[in-house]
């Protein structure tokens, strides 16, 4: 792997994500530095696609730090809603963001719907420099369906309502089981493969 990637700034202010990515990337000799520790300012995420928002975040962090930057954007897409909540997943029910209110709104809007299929998406973007014309990208998708009654204590967000083909919800998986099959786990493994190529 190119030594330029041994230290990456993570374009996220979410401590949990920083920990998760640090763990996932450490085995590959990649050190993650949080953008907060480098004084990177917040950037808008005004776009309707995950990839555009992830590019905006990574480019901004590279511009402000001069380092290669890794950004992620993720969310839940419900087929019956043409992919909503999508990029608005974290704030589906408005401010302040609340998993409980997001889930209540999702279930309410799906009442009586026959089509309950949905998928999580995670997009990763790695910019080598701010004006990188060819950022590395990796997608992960995880398919399931939305149920009315929550099950499971693990995970976060929409997980207790996200039913997998094996009959468990995402919240009934251990963190290791979730990483092995989730949108985020898949995207990270694909990004590692991209990094190995260059």
Contacts to ligand IMP by CB under 6 A: 14, 73-76, 89-90, 120, 155-159, 182
Label the pairing between strands 162-163 and 136-146.
antiparallel
Nearest CB to ligand IMP, comparing residues 34 and 74? 74
Name, in order, each residue with C-beta under 8 angstroms of 178's C-beta and a sequence gap of 6 or more.
154, 155, 170, 185
CA distance 137 to 59: 13
Please state the closest distance from residue 148 (CB atom) to ligand IMP, in A: 17
Of the candidates 195, 75, 60, which has an alpha carbon nearest to the alpha carbon of residue 137? Answer: 195
CA distance 127 to 137: 9
Please state the closest distance from residue 29 (CB atom) to ligand IMP, in A: 25
Nearest CB to ligand IMP, comparing residues 108 and 197? 108
Phi-psi region of 53 (alpha: psi -120 to 50; beta: other; left: phi over 0): alpha
- Check 73, 79, 148, 166 and give the catalytic one: 73
CA distance 1 to 158: 35
Catalytic-residue membership of 99: no
Closest CB to ligand IMP: residue number? 157
**Token pair for residue 138?**
């990796």
Nearest CB to ligand IMP, comparing residues 51 and 129? 51
Nearest CB to ligand IMP, comparing residues 21 and 158? 158
Please state the closest distance from residue 76 (CB atom) to ligand IMP, in A: 5
CA distance 143 to 120: 7
**Token pair for residue 131?**
């004006």
**Which residues are catalytic, by number?**
73
């Amino acid at each position: 792997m190119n030594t330029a990637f041994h230290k990456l700034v993570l374009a996220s202010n979410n401590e949990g994500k920083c920990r998760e990515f640090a763990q996932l990337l450490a085995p590959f000799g990649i050190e993650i530095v949080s953008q907060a520790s480098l004084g990177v300012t917040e950037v808008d995420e005004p776009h309707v696609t995950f990839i555009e928002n992830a590019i905006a975040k990574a480019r901004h962090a590279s511009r402000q730090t001069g380092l290669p930057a890794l950004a992620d954007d993720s969310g839940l897409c419900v087929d019956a809603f043409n992919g909503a909540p999508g990029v608005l997943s974290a704030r589906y029910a408005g401010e302040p963001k609340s998993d409980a209110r997001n889930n209540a709104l999702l279930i309410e809007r799906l009442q009586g719907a026959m089509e309950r299929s949905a998928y999580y998406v995670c997009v990763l973007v790695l910019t080598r420099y701010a004006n990188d014309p060819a950022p590395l990208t990796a997608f992960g998708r995880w398919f399931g369906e939305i149920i009315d009654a929550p099950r499971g204590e693990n995970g976060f967000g929409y997980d207790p309502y996200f039913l997998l083909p094996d009959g468990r919800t995402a919240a009934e998986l251990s963190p290791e089981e979730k990483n092995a099959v989730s949108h985020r786990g898949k995207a990270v493994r694909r990004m590692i493969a991209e990094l190995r190529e260059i």
